[in-house]
């Protein structure tokens, strides 16, 4: 998979050199390229922002440097993208986007080419997204209901969430099956040795060797946790009142 990231802070993306994603890059599973938006400006100050029409606080990113950066990326990938038949996905992290969830990460893991546009300030001139729809499948996505200073941290999270689903990036693919959100529920609690630690024991059942009962217990734990911590993930009819749901970990 190829991933291009456009930002005014390329150094933010250095985290992509580290750990599993860094290793996947070195092994050629992920071709990640970081671009400085300011390389696509033509004035002495390398200006990427200006004041908002209509007034208001803050600055807005000018569309032209973005268009030039995105055109250069689209041109450099044209042969590969034409062969795959699909337009690259332009991922724009923004608090006003749709929610980036595991199902979105799974969908994006099937793409050949992602381009991530990291905005700053009050965002990017809206016309850029209309223009970009000719070249890209444009998706505005939010990490959650809070505001970051820019798209870079969100881009890191999204690239890690997508990248680890690309076959070969995570050594043991089974670890992707039983994790939180893979089946719409939170993950069950996990324990390791010693079986007794500071007067706290690992639940008996996990030491029983009875794989059927262990699987059933884990599923109950997933449901109880999800009901108590994230009832919004469950269909409304399955969210019981807390009196009947019983204690959770
Ligand atoms: N940029 C600023 N805040 C963001 C958020 N919550 N999600 C994605 N991108 C952002």
- Interacting residues of 173 by C-beta distance below 8 A, sequence separation 6+: 167
Average pLDDT score over residue span 99-107: 97
pTM of structure: 0.93
* Per-residue pLDDT, 221: 98
Q: How far is the CA of 8 from the centre of ligand 1 (A)?
A: 16
Q: Evaluate: CB of 144 within 6 angstroms of ligand 1.
A: yes
Q: Which two tokens stand for residue 97?
A: 């986007």
Model pLDDT for residues 132-163, shown as the tens digit of each residue: 999 999 999 999 999 999 999 999 999 999 99
Distance CA 211, CA 86 (A): 44
Residue 52, SS3 per DSSP: coil
Q: Evaluate: CB of 151 within 6 angstroms of ligand 1.
A: yes
* Short-list 4, 79, 14, CA closest to 37: 4
Is the confidence at residue 249, as pLDDT, over 80? no
Domains of the chain plus CATH, in order, are 2-173 (3.40.1280.10), 180-245 (1.10.1270.20)
Is the confidence at residue 245, as pLDDT, over 60? no
Is the confidence at residue 243, as pLDDT, over 50? no
Could you tell which of 58, 61, 90, 97 is best to mutate to test the pocket of ligand 1, judged by most ligand atoms within 8 Å of the CB?
A: 97
Q: How far is the CA of 156 from the centre of ligand 1 (A)?
A: 11
Could you tell which of 96, 148, 153 is best to mutate to test the pocket of ligand 1, judged by most ligand atoms within 8 Å of the CB?
A: 148
ipTM of the complex: 0.96
């Amino acid at each position: 998979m190829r991933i291009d990231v456009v930002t005014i802070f390329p150094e933010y993306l250095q985290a992509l050199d580290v750990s599993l994603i860094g290793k996947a890059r070195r092994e050629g599973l992920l071709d990640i390229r970081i671009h400085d938006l300011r390389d696509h400006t033509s004035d002495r100050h390398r200006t990427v922002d200006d004041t908002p029409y209509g007034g208001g606080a803050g600055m807005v990113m000018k569309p032209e440097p973005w268009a030039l950066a995105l055109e250069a990326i689209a041109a450099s990938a044209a042969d590969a993208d034409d062969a795959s038949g699909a337009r690259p996905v332009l991922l724009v992290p923004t608090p006003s986007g749709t929610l980036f969830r595991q199902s979105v990460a799974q969908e994006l893991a099937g793409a050949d080419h992602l381009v991530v546009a990291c905005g700053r300030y009050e965002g990017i001139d809206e016309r850029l997204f209309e223009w970009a729809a000719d070249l890209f499948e444009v998706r505005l996505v939010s990490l959650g209901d809070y505001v970051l200073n820019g798209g870079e941290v969100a881009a890191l999270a999204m690239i890690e969430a997508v990248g680890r689903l690309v076959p070969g990036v995570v050594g043991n693919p089974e670890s992707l099956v039983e994790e939180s959100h893979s089946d719409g529920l939170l993950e069950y609690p996990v324990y390791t040795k010693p079986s007794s630690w500071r007067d706290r024991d690992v639940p008996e059942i996990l030491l029983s060797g009875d794989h059927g009962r262990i699987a059933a217990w884990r599923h109950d734990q997933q449901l109880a946790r999800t009901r108590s911590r994230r009832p919004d993930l469950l269909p409304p009819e399955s969210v019981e009142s807390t009196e009947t749901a019983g204690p959770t970990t």
